[in-house]
Structure 1
Amino acid sequence: FDTSSAGHIQAGDEPEESAIRELYEELGIQASKEELQFAGCFDIQYEKEFHGKMFRDNEVAFVYMYTKPVDVAKLILQKEEVESVEWFDMEELDAALQPPRDQRFCVPMEGFQIAKQWLESRK
């Protein structure tokens, strides 16, 4: 399992525009700028050898929160990128991401921490 909706910023776009586009493309959710709230950002730096060549990933990830109610049955999943959607309890997911990490999840820990802190700050 990975982040619910993610993608790359297209040339000339702002992060928020990309978040709105990806939310619609991957899950069929039409959100407005007012319905997304910026939670934070983090750096992704990854380096590993694949098929005899080095792969390097160096980017900045922006985290936005969409808090309107979502009916999973009404989502329109982009079949090329999203196989299924499931809800997870934040505490359960937090425990699953701690070492030794539950291999079912590839959610970036930094992004999860930003989302968790954002949610806790609203309690």
Structure 2
Amino acid sequence: SAGHIQAGDEPLESALRELKEELGISATPEQLHFAGTFPISFAKEFHGKMFRDEEIAFVYIYREPVNIAELVLQTEEVEEVQWFDLEEVYEQCGKHREIFCVPALGLGVVRRYLKSIEKN
């Protein structure tokens, strides 16, 4: 799940809210593990005017078992949920494959986090 931090909220609070809203997962703060941040920066023409986006994304990992058949999807935001191999998605994002709408920098944060916990 993904979203923006609302005014007055903390990143973890927003992550918990988005997880509940988009997937129906009621996680506790202890179940989300902070993996890191990455910058998002782009400029694109939108309806004849330049749109610029400059933000910092916070990445949290939910490591609990998930049965996707039991998820309650927010249909306005989530069409479908599928499992994919992380390395396959990372490679495909590097090739700008449209099937994956995940920033490659965010996947890099996830990969580094998972490698760090494998060592421990």
- Shorter-chain TM-score: what band? over 0.9
Amino acid at match of 1:110: L
TM-score by length of 2: 0.94
Structure 2: gaps (5+ residues): none
1:73 equivalenced with 2:80 (yes/no): no
2:104 to 101, 109, 119: 109
What is the percent sequence identity of the aligned residues?
A: 58
TM-fit CA distance, 1:121: 1.1
Q: Number of aligned pairs?
A: 118
The C-alpha deviation readout for 1:59-94, integer Å capped at 9, x for no partner, is: 110000000000000000000000000010112112
Match for residue 87 of structure 1 among 83, 86, 94: 83
Which amino acid is the alignment partner of residue 112 of structure 2? Q
Paired with 1:63 and 1:6, the residues of 2 have a C-alpha distance of 9
TM-score, scaled relative to structure 1: 0.92
Q: Which has the higher helix share?
A: 2
Q: Which residue does the alignment assign to 1:41?
A: 37
Q: Which runs of 4+ in 1 moved over 4 A?
A: none
Aligned Cα root-mean-square deviation (Å): 0.9
